[in-house]
Amino acid sequence: MPTVTQLNTYVDAAATAIAAGDYTTALPNIEAALVIMSGLPDVTTAGTVTQFDRKALKTAQKMCLQSANTTRGIQRSRVKYTNPTG
């Protein structure tokens, strides 16, 4: 059974990766957190409701996908050719 501690571990790892601009590392951590969160029910204890924000993780996942995709693909750079025969 998934635990809140496991969830926090993945969320913390994702947040650290996002802060470092490492979106490709953040994605698997967000996805793991989503899977764990799917097995955790919202809980009411002594009148206090603990509710998990699944939508916020999905938003973070979408942002990471977009950010990771902007660092891939065709990269343009200038190349200066010189005449080898002088």
| Per-residue confidence (pLDDT) for residue 15, from 0 to 100 | 94
Residues pairing with 48 in the sheet: 45
Q: Is residue 58 part of a domain?
A: yes
The amino acid at 71:
T
Total structural domains within the chain: 1
DSSP 47: T
| Per-residue confidence (pLDDT) for residue 70, from 0 to 100 | 73
d(CA 26, CA 18): 6
What pTM value is reported for the model?
A: 0.70
Rounded average pLDDT over 29-42: 88
Q: Is residue 85 part of a domain?
A: no
| Per-residue confidence (pLDDT) for residue 72, from 0 to 100 | 59
The most confident of the ranges 13-22, 47-56, 64-73 is: 13-22
DSSP 8: H
Choose between 55 and 82: higher pLDDT.
Answer: 55
Choose between 53 and 62: higher pLDDT.
Answer: 62
Q: Is residue 75 part of a domain?
A: no
Host domain of residue 9: 4-70
